[in-house]
């Protein structure tokens, strides 16, 4: 079942890519007491994710923070080393890179997908959500192959 606006995020272990290396946390800890703009991508370094999705949040980070967002985070079913490298290559210090290596978060929120026909296995659907103290305020799930609803621009319009 897919998570909905008004639902509390399930408590799942995540790995944050930090300058000091991977650090484990839980959704309960990470989202507690703050407003987080979270966006999910099917894969680091993939064409749309690298050319459009991550750059939209890098470009609009200060605008999102000016509208009350405390943290901007990108999550993907990749390992923390890949997420760290992608963040260094294409991200910014304004974006926290989160590894959902086994897809536990994607499964828990009902937003995983099977990308086996592309040789990618289980992945996350493309979406964005605004989470306030662990509760989903906005959820924008893309149709397969699309990129519009989950952009930073769309989330900005919703704030």
Structure tokens at 50: 């690298």
How far is Cα 60 from Cα 115, in angstroms, rounded to an integer? Answer: 29
In a domain, 7, yes or no: no
| The pairing of beta strand 71-76 with beta strand 135-141 | unpaired
Could you list the residue range(s) of the whole structural domain that residue 120 is in? 13-158
Q: Is residue 17 part of a domain?
A: yes
Distance CA 26, CA 40 (A): 17
> Is 3 contained in some domain?
no
Q: Does the residue 29 lie in any domain? A: yes
Supply the CATH number for residue 82's domain.
3.40.30.10
Q: Is residue 143 part of a domain?
A: yes
49 is catalytic: yes
**The pLDDT of residue 121:** 58
DSSP string across 89-106: HH--TTEEEEE-TTSHHH
pLDDT given for residue 52 in this prediction? 77
Specify the number of domains making up the chain: 1
Note whether residue 5 is domain-resident: no
The sign of the CA dihedral 89, 62, 35, 113 is negative
Find the radius of gyration of the CA atoms of the chain: 14
Query: Do the domain assignments include residue 8?
Result: no
**The one catalytic residue among 12, 17, 49, 73:** 49
- Averaged over successive runs of 10 residues, the pLDDT of the chain (159 residues) comes to 94 93 96 97 78 88 97 95 91 92 94 72 86 97 88 94
pTM of the model: 0.93
pLDDT confidence of residue 80: 94
CA distance 3 to 10: 9
145 lies in a domain?
yes
């Amino acid at each position: 079942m897919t998570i909905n606006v008004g639902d509390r995020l399930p408590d799942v272990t995540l790995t944050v890519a930090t300058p000091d290396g991977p650090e484990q946390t839980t959704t309960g800890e990470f989202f507690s007491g703050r407003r987080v703009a979270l966006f999910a991508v099917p894969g680091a370094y993939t064409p749309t994710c690298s050319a459009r999705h991550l750059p939209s949040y890098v470009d609009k980070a200060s605008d999102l923070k000016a509208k009350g967002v405390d943290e901007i985070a990108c999550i993907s079913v990749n390992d923390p080393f890949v997420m760290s490298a992608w963040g260094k290559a294409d991200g910014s210090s304004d974006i926290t890179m989160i590894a959902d290596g086994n897809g536990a978060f994607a499964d828990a929120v009902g937003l995983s997908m099977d990308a086996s026909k592309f040789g990618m296995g289980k992945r996350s659907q493309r979406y964005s959500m605004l989470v306030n103290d662990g509760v989903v305020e906005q959820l924008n799930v893309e149709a397969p192959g699309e990129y519009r609803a989950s952009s930073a621009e769309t989330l900005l319009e919703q704030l």
